[in-house]
Amino acid sequence: MKKTVLLSAGLLFFSVFISGCVSVVDNSSHSRSSNTLGRELIDLDTVRATGIITEAEYQEQRNRLLHPESKK
C-alpha cells in the first residue's frame, strides 16, 4: 500500500514538473517553463534515487529530455 501511494505521488509530481505551465491571455496560448534542462535532470534523478521510478523509466525519460526530436 505504501509503495503504491509513493508511486502515485511520484508519478503525479513527475507529470506536473514535466508538463510546465500554460497560460491563456487574450485568446492566445503561451507556453512557459521555469525549469531548465539541468533542473529537470536533477529532479528526475531524485525521483529515481528515491525509488519512485525504475532505472528503465529513468533512462527513458532522461533520453526524452536530452533528445526531444527523437520519438519512440
Answer whether residue 51 shows pLDDT above 90.
Answer: yes
CA distance 57 to 51: 11
Q: Taking the domains of the chain in order of start, what are their residue ranges? A: 2-66
Q: What would the pLDDT profile of 8-50 be if each residue is shown by its tens digit?
A: 667 666 665 666 544 444 444 445 567 899 999 999 999 999 9
Picking from 72, 43, 48, the residue whose alpha carbon sits closest to that of residue 59 is 48
Mean pLDDT of 45-64: 96
